Amino acid sequence: MDTHIQQLLRQTGFRVYENSCRQVRGTTICFARRNGSAFLATTQPEVLGELDEALLLDAETNLAGIPLTWPNYLALRTMLSLAPSTCDQPISFGAGDRLGMVSGAHLQALARYRVFPVIAQQSPRELVRTGRDFRDVMLSAVTGVLETGYAGTWGADADHIKHEQQILQAMEAGYSMYTVDVSDHLRDVTRLTQPEIVDKARTLSALSQSIVRDHLNLRIRTEQGEYYTLDAQQLALSAIAFEDALQEACRLYEILRTNLSAFDFELSIDESPRISTPEDHVFVVEYLRRSDANLTSLALRLPGEFQKGVDYAGDLAELGRALRLHAALCKELQGYRLSLHSGSDKFSIYHLFREATGGRFHVKTSGTSWLEAVELIARVHPVLFTDLYRLCLFSIEESTRGYSVSISAEQFPPLPPDDLSAFLAQPKVRQLFHISYGVLLEEAGSTIRDLLDAHEQEHYRLVTEHIEKHLQALTEAGGA
């Protein structure tokens, strides 16, 4: 730690992060913030080359502050090893940061475990609601890397991508992981009659027909000795349901392969109304494989309810069997992992997921860290919390669009009770705040950010402890 530079920064009104100092080309660089902006500080700025908007902070020592703008990030990305990379661990964990304020807290938790941290993780749906873009999310993740002094590998996930333009924007921002969501392209096969299934199966592509033919009567055995034999008609239904969607997935994959030398590719079908069958799993993976699309992870639609911000709701025995079958298929087909979406706060099932997958998986969380911010607001500013709660109720119809939650305004009191922490712990209230982030940030974003910035240490502590609860449940051995 270079105490001299840090002392100078404090004297000029900066918040200094003691673990951030690093040696680069023989000089010390530290990370600091002032008035909500992120800076790199050094007494030898010439070592870093030509950078935009550098501020001379102390003429005597030549201390300069370099704002972490997008052009400066691009100029320093290679020199400071600030680029995300592909996953290099059996377990990876995505921690979305809707506010762009707690990547450092996420890394404080994730760095203590044998997991690959994905700290830039946002979907286009979240970007629209928060008024951000892929660049902004990347910069927020980079500030977390810089302020903590983290020196390991980390990932950036362009989550739930549905369109080519979204792929292009994420590639331009340098993302390392692309989660393609093809749920909008699935065919509804629930009402097909037997003759219709036969007719539609005849019109399938040669590729799809070969997958169905090659996997008839495939017998799957789980680690627990359970058996499942693929059904011919169900395989045909899977092909009919997924063929168009997978053609689109392969088209988007080809854009990535043409432009990038390395990337992680996840396919998401978890937001489909159709619960994924073993036949679906086999058809999806084999279609991608035979199309030369290298799958890194697969997010399935599992039985039960994976609603936002609350624990799993459903039959644990049914879920356990489904996980064991899908994990057995991963082992049979090889080369990819299962991915658990809406993974926040699903504490009752983490042991099932960990055991079924043998400790090879990806988990995504997002809104759970935002809820820790709401918890802090409830503790330190009850009046603001009450105002936000009323805004949540007023905008509930808008906020529920696009999210799988079962709440309505009639389920909530017009004002919160006196015990705000207990109130916020209620599942319905957690869901309400979980999905209302867009409206709240649009209407009161500056007030929220200012309050959280003023209580940064407490905010970080809440987020770090909550993410650690997830990691402790998901990893058998605990910390590294």
Q: Let me know if 398 is a catalytic residue.
A: no
Q: How far apart are CA 122 and CA 155, in angstroms?
A: 12
Helix pair 382-394, 367-380: axis angle to 10 deg: 130
Written as six digits, the tokens of 230 are 């693929």
| CA–CA dist 475, 458 (Å, integer) | 26
- Is residue 271 within 8 Å of 162, Cβ to Cβ? no
Helix axes 427-435, 437-454, angle to 10 degrees: 90
Contact assessment for residue 95 and residue 89, using Cβ atoms and an 8 Å cutoff:
no
Please tell me the distance from the alpha carbon of residue 29 to that of residue 25, in angstroms, as a whole number. Answer: 10
Q: Which residue in the list 2, 97, 159, 279 is annotated as catalytic?
A: 159
For the chain, the distance separating the N- and C-terminal CA atoms, rounded to the nearest angstrom, is 24
Token pair in block for residue 171:
């590639």
Q: Percent helix, strand, coil in the chain (nearest 5)?
A: 50, 15, 35
342: tokens are 């809406």
DSSP string, 295-313: --EEE---SSB--TTS--B
- Residue in 2, 97, 243, 266 annotated catalytic: 266
Taking the C-alpha atoms of residue 200 and residue 385, their distance in angstroms, rounded to an integer, is 55
What is d(CA 148, CA 103) in angstroms, rounded to the nearest whole number?
A: 9
Burial of 431 (0-12, 13-18, 19+ CB in 10 A): buried
Q: Is 248 exposed, middle or buried (0-12, 13-18, 19+ CB in 10 A)?
A: middle
> Cα 7 to the chain's mean position, in Å?
36
Measured distance CA(65)–CA(54) in Å, rounded: 6
* Distance of alpha carbon 338 from alpha carbon 300, whole angstroms: 8
Instruction: Provide the CA 404 distance to its chain's centre, in angstroms.
Output: 17
| Token duo for residue 148 | 């903590």
Dihedral sign for Cα 384, 385, 386, 390, please. positive
**Contact present, 159 and 123 (Cβ < 8 Å):** yes
Known active-site residue 266: yes
Biggest CA pair distance of the chain: 85
What residue ranges in 97-254 does DSSP mark as E strands?
116-122, 155-161, 177-181, 219-221, 227-229
Sequence letter at residue 295: L
DSSP state of 18: G
Residues taking part in catalysis: 159, 266
